[in-house]
Structure 1
Amino acid sequence: MKNKGWRLFPAIAGILVGVVAAEIITSGAITAALPMIVNFITLYLQADAIKSVARTWFKPLAIIQR
């Protein structure tokens, strides 16, 4: 578990550097777009969760139909 934490740290640092660079390059315009970007990410994660639950629920039906 500790090994994965050290792999995650550079990714988080890279994301932060990317966001700061985007803020500097766009003179802060990216801040206005962040809520929309977060909404799209949230929508994708919700759809993925629904798909996962549906697979879990309908997996027994596939066994019964065989």
Structure 2
Amino acid sequence: MIQPFYTDNSTVDKARAFWDALELATVGLDETLRLSAFRECLKGKSGEEWWMCSRIDDFETLRVRFHNQ
């Protein structure tokens, strides 16, 4: 089970731990399902705003943008 990621007041270490768990838990799934899993786990106002303002169509784009935040 992937723990939700609360973006408000998060740390780099928490973000890294979340990403590692998400990536591992979704290996082999369809891109759409991987993006959906990310979206469902993303919590907090800043995360919601980031997601709504981003156009992310594939998991690789998500990976790059998430790591650059």
TM-score, normalized by length of structure 1? 0.31
TM-score, normalized by length of structure 2? 0.30
Bigger helix share: 1
Which structure would you say has the larger Rg? 1
RCO comparison, higher one (Cα < 8 Å, 6+):
2
Bigger strand share: 2
